[in-house]
Amino acid sequence: MYLTEQEILAQQEALEKTFDAVMEGKEKIREFLSRRKRLVFLGCGSSYMLAKTGQRIFGTKAGMTAEAIAGGEYLIAPDFYQEALKDSIVVALSRSGMTSEIIRAVEIMKDRTNALIFSVTMKEGCDLLPLSDFSLVFPWAYDNSVCQTRTVSNFYGILLMLSDILEQNDTALEELSGTIRSIGAFLEKYRAPLEQLAQRDFKDVVVLADGVLCGIAEEAALAFTEIALISGKYFHLLDYRHGPKVLNGSGTLTVAVTQPGGGHLQQDMVRDLKACGGTLAVLCPQKDQEEYPCDLVVPCPDGSFATFGFYLLGFCQLLALLKALANGTNPDQPQGLDAYITLK
């Protein structure tokens, strides 16, 4: 079994340990996050995509503002973000805690601003920790393969937990715990249908989703680029009509996520996608599964729309792995990629 496959299938175990660890420290976490009303999420690559999810989660809360910044962009133009960082908590997301853009960005922020640094990483003893005012470390969620899989699902779960802890929403935390404990069964259930889907002759993938799923949907699309070495792109669901859809054809796999309450707007969009002639999979609320005739319908277990993100990630990561194997590609050795970047 490839290392990437092992880590995809180990997501539930890692998420359960992460959930328990965060819950143990929830009072200290709430106290720290309550100090300021402005959050800035910092990341690179996959963690930047999760930073955009963090921005969407916290930026829609009453009385709070949120921003997402790519570490490399900040290094080029730190003055542009000076006001955004004022009186903020910077949530730095990094699998390794060693990526040069993250480390250098945090050093500049500490030198030029009064931002507090809240780091989340999967590696103990990393360079990011001494720079942090508060840190969370989850070594069991560290992906040893180049492409991040369980690491990003854990980042996503952590962001949702931070939100629920800050709002003292125990009901949401309980729902999240239940979702986490269903992921293994979900992957097992859909492995066979995904193996069949992977045999189809698609050469590029489009992932469509909205709301809190935006950042992780972009990460789900990236899984195809990094693991299967085929183009993966992300767009908002209805917005996809405004130009990019022109390239959707017989060689395209489209993965669309619909949410409760979208009504005929989502149904009409799915029909338009089906008419493009490619392969179409839809993840949707259970009650809507009869509304979407396509190649594969995946009814997500009842819960908040945010919980759909775990199923989307698992679906795309496993399908990307199976597509890589169908194409004779080694998912553990994507040419031209490194686990983290070190700048000169």
Report d(CA 11, CA 183) in Å as an integer: 8
- Residue of 268, 131, 173, 152 lying closest to 219 (CA atoms): 152
Residue 124: per-residue pLDDT: 97
Beta bridge partners of 252: 204
Residue 192 neighbours by CB distance under 10 Å: 9
Q: What is the DSSP string of 92-111?
A: EEESSS--HHHHHHHHHHHH
Apex 110 CA angle, 106 and 113, nearest 5 = 115
Please report, in tens digits, the pLDDT of each residue of the chain (344 residues total).
899 999 999 999 999 999 999 999 999 999 999 999 999 999 999 999 999 999 999 999 999 999 999 999 999 999 999 999 999 999 999 999 999 999 999 999 999 999 999 999 999 999 999 999 999 999 999 999 988 999 999 999 999 999 999 999 999 999 999 999 999 999 999 999 999 999 999 999 999 999 999 999 999 999 999 999 999 999 999 999 999 999 999 999 999 999 998 779 999 999 999 999 999 999 999 888 888 989 999 999 888 999 999 999 999 999 999 999 999 999 887 665 555 545 55
Which residues does 320 contact at the CB level (< 8 Å), separation at least 6? 223, 224, 226, 227, 228, 232, 331
Report d(CA 115, CA 40) in Å as an integer: 9
Tokens of 150: 């369980």
On whether the CB atoms of residues 340 and 99 are closer than 8 A, the answer is yes
- Residue of 323, 138, 308, 294 lying closest to 224 (CA atoms): 323
Tokens of 61: 């809360």
Residue 267: per-residue pLDDT: 94
On whether the CB atoms of residues 218 and 52 are closer than 8 A, the answer is yes
Tokens of 33: 């996050």
Number of residues that make up the chain: 344
Is residue 240 within a helix (H) or strand (E), and if so which, with residue range? none
Plot region of 58 (φ>0 → left; ψ -120 to 50 → alpha; else → beta): alpha
On whether the CB atoms of residues 88 and 55 are closer than 8 A, the answer is no
